[in-house]
Amino acid sequence: MSSFAELAHQYIDGAWRTGSGSWDIIDVNPYNGEKLASITIATRDEVDRAYRAAERAQRTWAGTNPYARRLVCERALRIVEDREQEITEALVAELGGTRLNAAFELSLAKEFLREAIALALRPEGRIIASPAEGKENRLYRVPVGVVGVISPFNFPFLLSLKSVAAALVLGNAVVLKPHQDTPVCGGTLVAKVFEDAGLPAGLLNVVITDIAEIGDALIEHPVPKVISFTGSDEAGRHVGAVCAAHFKYAVLELGGNSALIVLEDADIDYAVDAAVFSRFVHQGQVCMAANRVLVDRAVEREFTEKFIEKVKALKVGDPADPGTHIGPLINSLQAEAVSAFVETTVAAGATALLRGSTRGNLVHPTVLTGLPADSPALAQEIFGPVALVVPFDGEDEAVRIANATPYGLSGAVHTGDVERGVRIAHRIDTGMIHINDSTVHDEPIVPFGGEKHSGVGRLNGDSMVEAFTTQKWISIQHGRSTFPF
């Protein structure tokens, strides 16, 4: 793999370019503060060049045989497999992810590339009957054209790749804007993989920039027909509004406030393992993470004691150390925000069963309980290693608490009776929920997305076809129509 310095450029129309902006994004290692790269930002002009290049290249690409398009993804998969160790090192350095987290991300990235290979042949046409004599109705699935992809920092390689690969293999071109904190792993590294896989120039463009420079140019631009955005609900609300004003389709994968419910008949030791993973994987910087651990009062004491014991055993430190469970948060602003959240929540009446310290971007785990029922902390997303343990009395109260949030992304129910768990799952307003497992799952062929403030639309599998293709009706009149005048 190329070094960070080699990838610290814009990638437009098949060429690596220096941005023309007046300032640089400094890419740093969030654990030790080491400067990885300096990238001069892209301006509105470069956003326009990227979209125009995509528009030109897409016309030919759309007419390319889908069997040929999928060969690019086959080669991209082999490249990722061959460079897995180098990509792992990049993920650890740029986003402070642990080696366990990098392995999880890369494993899923490879699965999504395998699914993209199959996705190339998924679109199908239809012949639809007509009430008009001699009329033949043909319904085609065709590429939307150009797709704008805006990806987050937490799983940058995976969450860029899944939309990019699907959109490309379905016959579209893409302009990708990665998060400013992960410009290489979420942006130019993806471009390098596809460039080396032989993707024709112009079909994938990467612009590294900031809204302070370009405003809404990336989503207002007239070329893209679909915007695939993954990020916060606040930003997603704005993206959705701008897309609607410009008649663009938006796929919005947003935040979450998942509840992991432990019923009185659950396997407590197993539920503890699932809850610790669900809350603290990738330092809690996961939209599906279990912010709230809801526990039946009948098993509250046993569960809480074992939960605290396991959390205390988590190793916090250098993400490059294979033994580390919790590395740094992505930046100092996020670390300060999580620390302030704990301070505010404790001051408002919560009890700290475990109070973690903050050193730089390293935030040690905190476990809070005893929150007032109307605590704002229970309704919001916590993007950090803080768990809220909430007792409940009976299924109805568990469901009420689980639904008492504007989010609806994921969740889990732990019980000795699987069908009981399914009945409860049906009552919880989420796009995804898992029985006797963690809250953190993503599979290539299963629709991924949320309800309420957790997003609009779905990705993965057939949902990718829905998102990145459109329907075209072509009718043929065999013989002559008759007209009223």
- Residues labelled catalytic: 253, 287
d(CA 14, CA 233): 33
- Helix 84-95 to helix 156-169 angle, to the nearest 10 degrees? 130
Residue 461 Cα to chain centre, angstroms: 15
**Per-residue DSSP letter, 136:** E
Closest CA to 117 of 72, 167, 70, 76: 70
Q: In what order do the strands lie in the sheet with 455-456?
A: 15-17, 10-12, 204-206, 173-177, 146-150, 226-230, 249-253, 455-456
* DSSP letters for 200-269: PTTSEEE----HHHHTTHHHH-SS-SEEEEES-HHHHHHHHHHHHHTT-EEEEE-----EEEE-TTS-HH
- Helix 156-169 to helix 66-82 angle, to the nearest 10 degrees? 160
DSSP run (H or E) holding 37: strand 35-40
Other CB atoms within a 10 A radius of the CB of residue 131 amount to 5
Residue 65, helix vs strand vs coil? coil
d(CA 166, CA 179): 20
User: What separation in angstroms does the CA of 431 have from each of 174, 226, 256, 443?
Assistant: 27, 21, 10, 14
Cα four-point dihedral sign 427, 406, 337, 345? negative
Which ranges of 120-210 would DSSP assign to H, the alpha helix? 156-169, 189-196
Record the tokens describing residue 168, joined without a space.
């490309």
Record the tokens describing residue 136, joined without a space.
């033949």
Q: What is the CA radius of gyration of the chain?
A: 24
Q: Which residues, other chains included, contact 183 with Cβ-Cβ below 8 Å and sequence gap of 6+?
A: 8, 25, 27, 37, 39, 208
